[in-house]
Chains A and B, each alone.
Chain A
Amino acid sequence: MADTALTERRSRADTRPRAPRGTRRRRAPWVGYLPYLLPGAVAFVVVIGYPLVTNVYFSLFKWRGGMAPLRWNGLGNYVDLLGDDKFWTSFGNSLAMIVAMVLVPTLLGLVLAAVLFDYLGRRFGERVSSVLRATYYLPQILPVAVAGVLWNWILNSQTGALNVILRGIGVETPPNWLGDPSTALPSVMLVLIWVQMGYPVVIFMAALQRVDPELYEAAELDGAGWWDRFRAITVPQIRPETFVVTLTCTVAALKVFGPIYVLTRGGPESSTLVPSYYSYLNFFDKSQVGYGSAIATVLTLVIVVVALVILGLQNRAERREREGV
Chain B
Amino acid sequence: MAVATDLRPAQVRASAIDSRYRRGVGRWLVLAAAVLVGLAVLAPFGIMLLNAFKSPQDYAANGPLSLPSGLYLDGVVAFWERTDFPVKLWNSVFISAVVAVLGALLSLLNAYAIGIGRVKGRLWIVALFLLANMLPQEALIYPLFTMAQSVGLSNSQWSVIIIFTVIQSAFGTYLLSSVLGTFPPALLEAAALDGASRWRILWQVVFPIVRPTLSVLMIFFFIWTWNEFFIPLVMLTSNDTQTIPIALASLQGDRMMDAPTINAGSLVSLVPAVIFFLIFQRTLTRGVTAGAVK
Interface residues of A (CB under 8 A from B): 1-6, 8-10, 12-13, 15-17, 28-34, 36-37, 39-40, 43-44, 46-48, 50-52, 54-55, 58, 65, 112, 115-117, 119-126, 128, 132, 134-136, 138-139, 141-146, 148-154, 159, 161, 164-165, 168, 194, 197-199, 202-203, 206-207, 209-213, 240-241, 244-245, 251, 254-255, 257-258, 261-262, 275-276, 279-280, 283-284, 289, 292-293, 295-297, 299-300, 303-304, 307
In the complex the two chains form, is A120's CB within 8 Å of B27's CB? yes
In the complex the two chains form, is B269's CB within 8 Å of A143's CB? yes
A12 to B184, CA, bound (A): 11
A272 to B276, CA, bound (A): 33
In the complex the two chains form, is A149's CB within 8 Å of B249's CB? yes
In the complex the two chains form, is A126's CB within 8 Å of B166's CB? no
- Assess A145 versus B229: contact at CB under 8 Å? Given A44-B129, A165-B63: yes
A37 nearest CB across to chain B (Å): 4
In the complex the two chains form, is A279's CB within 8 Å of B34's CB? no
In the complex the two chains form, is A136's CB within 8 Å of B123's CB? no
- Lowest 5 A-B CB distances belong to which pairs? A33-B117, A206-B289, A51-B143, A145-B245, A161-B64
- Judged by DSSP, the binding face of A is helix
In the complex the two chains form, is B288's CB within 8 Å of A44's CB? no
Q: What 0/1 pattern do residues 69 to 109 of B give for CB contact below 8 A with A? A: 00000000000000000000000000000000000001001
A184 to B226, CA, bound (A): 28
Least CB separation from B132: chain A residue: A48
In the complex the two chains form, is A209's CB within 8 Å of B189's CB? no
B284 nearest CB across to chain A (Å): 8
Interface residues of B (CB under 8 A from A): 1-2, 8, 10-11, 13-15, 17-18, 21-22, 27, 30-31, 34-35, 37-38, 40-42, 44-45, 47-48, 51, 63-65, 106, 109-110, 112-120, 122-123, 125-126, 128-132, 134-144, 147, 162-163, 165-167, 169-170, 173-174, 177-179, 181-182, 185, 188-189, 192-193, 198, 202, 223, 226-227, 229-230, 233-234, 244-246, 248-249, 252, 258-259, 262-263, 265-266, 269-270, 273-274, 277, 281, 285, 288-289, 291-294
In the complex the two chains form, is A202's CB within 8 Å of B289's CB? yes
- Assess A6 versus B223: contact at CB under 8 Å? Given A123-B17, A258-B229: no
Can you sample 19 A-B contacts with CB below 8 Å? A2-B126, A6-B114, A12-B185, A13-B118, A33-B112, A33-B117, A40-B173, A47-B166, A115-B34, A141-B273, A142-B227, A148-B249, A159-B258, A161-B64, A168-B65, A240-B292, A262-B249, A293-B142, A307-B131
Residues of A with C-beta under 8 A to B117: 29-30, 32-34, 36
B207 nearest CB across to chain A (Å): 13
A126 to B140, CA, bound (A): 45
